[in-house]
Amino acid sequence: MEESSFDRIVGQLRKVSIIAVVASGFGSLLMFIIGAVKVFKAYKSYFFLETLTGTGPLSGVNVSISYLVQAIDAFLIALVLMIFGTGIFNLFVRSKPIDAGQSSGLFQIRSITELKKILAELIIVILMVKFLEGALLDAKGAGWEALVLPAAVLMLAAAVRILRLEHKQE
């Protein structure tokens, strides 16, 4: 069966998505560097600032823990960007499809639905880490406002669960 010129043009246009792949790769690299810098700052604040700040809410230990939580957040965002970039590459840029017999892994994304599911789960984890970071940095005590983010995370997790159950029934 012959391919029409329109189909060829559309087939070539899908390769424009390489821009998203490259940009996601650079963003991921930047977030990994930011995370590594946060880990370095955690060590620095623990070993060099602990004696200066004492045992208050922002002592060296608490500042170090805060930096480590921020590093986890940066690494998770880096992973989201990496997964997004490889998913777009596998779906739109790669010329041959992934075989079912190939090793299944996190980066073997075969559909937009699969990519969205993985990204939604990672975003929920990032929001949970953000809540933890806020809880650690809130020195004056948590009010009812502190419950907004965990409630939102719970609702997002429930929505992802419902979508997964709905997808299995199809």
pTM greater than 0.95: no
Per-range mean pLDDT, top range of 31-35, 51-55, 123-127, 135-139: 31-35
CA pair distance 28, 80, nearest whole angstrom: 8
The model's confidence at residue 37, banded by pLDDT at 50, 70 and 90, is: very high
Using pLDDT thresholds of 50, 70 and 90, give the confidence band for residue 13.
confident
* Domain range list for the chain: 5-169
Q: What is the mean pLDDT of residues 4-14?
A: 76
Residue 158 to residues 124, 125, 132, 145, 170, Cα–Cα distance (Å): 10, 13, 20, 21, 19
Alpha-carbon span 25 to 82, nearest angstrom: 6
Q: Which of 24-28, 60-64, 127-131 has the weakest average pLDDT?
A: 60-64
| One-letter amino acid for residue 112 of the chain | I
